[in-house]
Each structure stands twice: as structure tokens, then as C-alpha cells.
Structure 1
């Protein structure tokens, strides 16, 4: 498998082949909710987060994962991160599962002290996902001479608007609003953005499954029946090693079927086991370029 990660539909298609039955995206989500699979997210744009710490506390003889202190300043991350099965992530996965199954969505209570958390593969870095609020106030850009003669306030406040956005877009938003507001222009109420805990998956986060997680799951649940595929380079290297060993034993690999008989006699003398199928042995002896008879 060359991919570093698989989308949910790709993972479902692979597991369908591995399990010999139809596996859906909803099944993948259910496995993750029940802690049988570790899902990840791929962030194709910068995501605003803050660094967090998870602490292990012992309660009634049980070790519990607790949310520790968080950094005061936000930062940005992108790329591949694991989704912590903690806080709002569980509720979000349940929501997506019900959507996939066509079930009626359940009402959720968003807890202010819980959010979405991401961590690296080694669980040494933990981040809390943030959302940003920018607040605008619309004011008049100009008034006519009659209004000025009456002493009207040129920058009279008209209304305010709160939006979710990225602070890097402040300049673009300001320009866009100025062009479309006619007699009014936007003014920021606050110089700094307000950051809040995110309770839903951001739009530019793609839920995926790491390659290593997929292979480990297959090995655990299918008894190692899923064989890792060798790359062309690995197949060539393995044949070179076999050819060298065969040369040391004076075995002619140009006649692989004859070599099988020699190998079986030697294996029997030394108490070794070989595959029961001659074709399997020939496949390894003849190498990756062998043409089937």
C-alpha cells in the first residue's frame, strides 16, 4: 500500500475485500466510536489550535485521562493528525454515523469545557481546535452638506455583525465590505480576534485512516490472513537472495521444477518444512519475471 492514509470510502472498500463482506463508511465510523479503530484527520489548510496537555490521574484505582492546561496563545497546524476519542469528537463521529445510516440525528449538548482534540502519532503533541470570531461595526463613510450643517455625527454607528473567519482574511474582508456597503464602511470593534472551542469538524478537515492503522486492524481481526504486498524492488531483492543461496547449494534455478524435488529431499533430511504446493515454491525460485506454464 503506497498511500499514507485512506479516505473513509477507500478504507471501506479495502476492508470489504479483506473481510469478504460489505463494509460501509458507517461501519468504519462505528468501529472508531467503539474504540476498535483510530481515525485521523488530514488538514489541507492551516487550522487554528492551541497546544494542550493530557494528564493521567488515578481515580478509584483506575487510570483516567484528564485534560490539563492549555497554552494562552493560538498557533496553526496542517497535515495528518490523529483524532482523540475525547470530548466533542465522540459526539461528532456519532453524528456522522447517524447521517450515514439515515437515522434521525440526536440532540447534543455542547459542553463549554470540552472541545475537539488532535494529537500526533506518538501522542507527544496535543492540540485543541479553535474557531475565530471577528466583530464588525458598520459606520457611515460620508453625509451630504445638509446633514453636516445639522451637526450630525459623520461616523454614526449603524449596526454590528459577528462572523466566523480566519484572522489572516481581515484585509480581504475589509476591502470586500467597503466595496459593497455603499455609504457605510466596516470598523472592527476589537483589534484582536476572539477564540472559542470548536465543537464541530472544520470544513477543511478530511477524516481518514492511517495506513499503519489499517494494516494493524487487518492483522488483529483477520488472523494475519492479509498478506503484505511486496513492491517490485522488494520482489527483485528477495529473488537475488534466493538465487545466491541456491548457487551456494548448487541448485539450478533455470529448472525450477527440478529444483523443487532437490529442495524437498534436503528439507526432509534436515527436518524442515516447505509449502505443500510445488507451484508456490516455483514462484519464489523462478523470480518475479517468471511466466506461468
Structure 2
């Protein structure tokens, strides 16, 4: 990576994958990042290349409806559309979650998410949560019947997108009276998926901690644990050398809901003398 990389506050999703691959010496793909984001390990953001439009609101209680994602309800506070720009974080409580899930599924398989979101696309920045809106295109409404039929043949979704009973309740206005409707996906606005630098560094720290946790236990650590077991047995007046003691210890592990077999316990107890000897030298 270029030295200038350190000066950048955010990078593209492709650059993020390359940076992580170099940092942890393991191939990380864009699909991996999409999955990490969907599972809550990585915060994705968008850079709004051009001005976008939105409504302010807050996230409320979780709601669950058939065929919809279980997400927090978005409650609108101000029904006047306003403009936004810059970098905004994905809340993953709207249609953006479906979009991100589709991206990692399409990268690994031909599967596609069929569940939807009732919230539209939701973004967050500095304590402000917004639902993305776009200009309402009335071109279809002004077509004659024949042209409408052709348009629907090319894009069947035009039927419900312009159905009055669906469209009219969704229309909102800005301060100048211009009509807007909710965005269905991120691509409805001019934006690019990005990752903030601080998010990358946090992910690297998480991966390093996980890697340390996955390391096999060393001989020194094992002996320390065995000595500790011996000390606890001694304090509890349990003779770990006593014949058949493993059966009693098996019952004790059952009582705490983390059962160990008689054979496993015997193998552990047999290692105690050598562990004590190593510590007594």
C-alpha cells in the first residue's frame, strides 16, 4: 500500500480487502468483507459522490413480520426532505442489510435473499439517522397506455412502483414542493461503498486477539493449570491420587453443566505429578 494510505480517512471496499490481506498475511476478499459487515464485525459506510436526499428519524423497537427482516422500526421525525452529502455509515437496519447480504451470497453462490426490509435504506452520521429518498420520476405517469405497456414489459416492477395506492402514500416533499420517494437500494443514489480507516484498524485488532486465543496451550501454561488443579484439590480435601476419584470428579463436572468423561479426568490427573515436579525444581 502507498504511504499516502495512512493519510486517508476511508478507503474503497476493494482497497480495504487488499490492506487487510497484507496486514494479516491472509487472502481477504471483498466477499469476506461483505459477510463480516452483515454479521456485525465490520462497519461499512458510503461516500455520497453527489448530493442525496433524506428524512430524519430514529430507530425504535424491533419488529418482525413475515417475509421481512427482523429490524428496528424507523420512526420519521420530520417529513420534509432535506439534502445530505459526505460519508455516512450503514445502519444495517434497512434495505442496505439485504443488499449487503446479497453481495456476499452472490460472491459465494447463486443464492439470493428473498426477505425484504420495511425501512428503506437507512444511514447514520454523528447521531443522526436518515432514510434515503430520491426524486420521484413522473415520466411513466405521463405516458399513454401503449407506451406504459411497453415500459412494463421491459420492467415489470414499473407496475407497483407507479401504482397510485402504493406511490402516493410514499411521496414526500422538500421545502420547495419537489416530490421524492424512498430509495429501494443504495444504487438509487450516486454513492460508493467504503470502509473507514478506524474500522479497519479495529478489525485487525480483533483478528489479532482471536489469533492469539486460537494458539495451542504451551507446556508451561499446561503445567500451571495442572498445579492449580492440584492445589484446589488439596484445599477441598480431594485426593487426586485416590483410586476411583475420577468417578467422583465426573459427577462434580456434571453438577456445573460441563461434563467430562471418567477417562478424560484420569488422563488429566495422571499429568499432575510431573507438572508439580517441574514447578518444584
Normalising by the smaller structure, the TM-score range is 0.5 to 0.7
How many residues are aligned here? 171
Q: For the pair shown, which has the larger CA radius of gyration, 1 or 2?
A: 1
- CA–CA distance in 1 between the matches of 2:142 and 2:74? 40
1:132 corresponding residue in structure 2: 135
Say whether residues 1:211 and 2:197 are aligned partners. Answer: yes
- CA–CA distance in 2 between the matches of 1:138 and 1:98? 39
Matches within 5 A, 1:66-215: 66-101=73-108, 103-111=109-117, 113-120=118-125, 122=126, 124-136=127-139, 193-202=178-187, 203-215=189-201
Say whether residues 1:26 and 2:12 are aligned partners. Answer: no
With the length of structure 1 as denominator, give the TM-score of the two structures: 0.51
Unaligned runs of 5+ in 2: 1-5, 63-70, 152-175, 212-281
- CA–CA distance in 2 between the matches of 1:196 and 1:45? 18
How far apart are 1:205 and its partner, in Å?
A: 1.2
- CA–CA distance in 2 between the matches of 1:85 and 1:158? 39
Matches within 5 A, 1:5-16: 5-16=10-21
Contact 1:110/1:199 (CA < 8 Å) preserved in 2? Answer: no
How far apart are 1:195 and its partner, in Å?
A: 2.5
What stretches of structure 1 move > 4 A for 4+ residues in a row? 136-139, 157-161
Change (3 A) 1:45 1:114: same
1:186 corresponding residue in structure 2: none
In terms of fraction of residues, the more helix-rich structure is 2
Contact 1:134/1:193 (CA < 8 Å) preserved in 2? Answer: no
In terms of fraction of residues, the more strand-rich structure is 1
